[in-house]
Structure 1
């Protein structure tokens, strides 16, 4: 009898253990439920505070709080050049642009080489690629002139008497070259340019005056200014005579 009672107690305990998990899982399902909303607090008054004007002003002055579009500080000229170089860059990115750039470099190198060769050969580029000066109405040939064989006094008087001021300026300039050559300051050669003689002169007042005289001659002769007035020619002759006086002065190199 006692053994039967013990078996019944064990069976009842086993039944209670099997029924325990559903009972324990119920609080877990209740915990997963959404929380209930809290009631609104109506006992305290919320006061909105505005910042002080000084503090707002300090914030506005700070660069981090200035949310505005900054205008470009470039000028209209800079913007124009920027658009131009952008257009050049876009052009060079195309196939024709790349071909033009490649062969353009070779062409520039060839032109630079030709220019150097012509300068070494002492060729007057302005005469080679420009218009040839018009010949004077006198029986005078500039191609076969020799400063050591010309009678400058007679030729100058004839040119000035006929009003050929352009030729008179050329003859006066050649006379100056002869005086420089006679004093050993330059070595005259028919194929030399006027600027070659300028480089041969030592630095000083004489070289400065000769540079001004050369610029005057180039402007009149190679510019083919046949419409020189007597006043203009008188000014040019005064410049030449001032140079000749400086050349004759014993203190010209001072």
Structure 2
């Protein structure tokens, strides 16, 4: 609902941040205006990072990133306009299309602001080492200030500082609170890996390459997380910028309203302001004279009871006709005499109506123009004095009105709720939803079940034993308990399975019959390590380096299984072998590197040349040529 800035209460940084988050979660318009620019920045940044990694030309990726950044600035401006219309607009519910059109209308200024803010932030970070980015906070509302059309875009920082006013300190703390993006960064990483874990454990999908990509030691994944977090906080930035400008306006026009009203000029036509007592006496005398003149003649019931009071413009027109008919005054004098009528308030409309009808009756009905001219001149002069006196009284009354505004609950700290003497009228009950009806029904059934117990004292109790809220709490506790029990059972089964595999590792190593697996070319135990290594050399001689890398990795798995370092199982992934590694400590690092290279080559379809095969062969050779452990050889 649109409200005036004077009706809003000044907020601190935490309240503004909370309001921005609530606004973003309840309005789809802010997301519709910021997501296109955010998605474009994410895609352009990933394309640039991939071009740098692969050594491609950077002209096109840089150009795309620049265009995406300008598109992001256009979306920020449209979102700021949308939020401002949502808070302070008077045209009803705002439209995203209308805000986008407003941003397109200010597109040159927005593009200047994009370049200005990018250059300013880069310069501040380079010169101050990042500290100035935290201390200089006014330009954070740059897009919102541009959309208001205040000042020149080339002097954006000064314009933002002037619009914020006393809210500059709040803007500093809001920028500090935006560091919550670090938590969002890690939450995104955890959530994505949790989804991969569920997909692998519950669905059985092989997501080895995806799990390897979504690792914190992968630079591209870090860039993706950082840019995605930045894009997700775009609506919050626009909302906080607009709310900060509104807060600055509230502080300047609301908390400083008392000082502003006391400096208002009085409408005394340049004359010095009389002392308070004299001004009060003159005002009272002028009001008395005006009331006496306007109400001196009795009003006819037929003219005033049913008729609507004349508007000031209609009264001016009819008085002008009387003056023209009776030649009351010249045009120069008429302008000075009639001007006070435009300043009369709505409360004087009835008196003005009676005055006009009285002058018209004297001029037209009684045909006494001399009397009408005298009444008209005297009445207009008295009304002018009344308006001047009322203006002085309004200037002093504005101070009391400002104090009343500042004394409203919106500008004061919330007081503790007092005990109400009389109960408020009950609101009409809302129709409960299906979930509430189900909870109530379940509560009634459980209540009946408990009432069957032979307890007379419990039957005599007036209030019900269980309510819908209590039943819901019991259900929540039961569900949480069952969930923890299921998770505990799954964990115990997994630990027992790993223990059985570890205990039976030596027996399985010695009893595996390779002859039964000779027909399975995908099984690592179908060949001895030397056989896989020989096959790898043959494949490399034919130029099949990718298949040769796979054969070397299978030779490594066969060797580690025979040494008892791993328990080979086709249902496990390569990284499961690494997590369950039981071999020599110095072998784990090369095994991790070989697993990473194999996943990128085989599952990632990366091309492998002769140099890549030679490097893989050089890393594998020490593990394949190392002597077996004595206990395994003896077995």
TM (normalized to structure 1)?
A: 0.46
Q: Which has the larger radius of gyration?
A: 1
TM (normalized to structure 2)?
A: 0.20
Higher fraction of helix: 2
Q: Which of structures 1 and 2 has the larger relative contact order (alpha carbons within 8 angstroms, sep 6+)?
A: 1
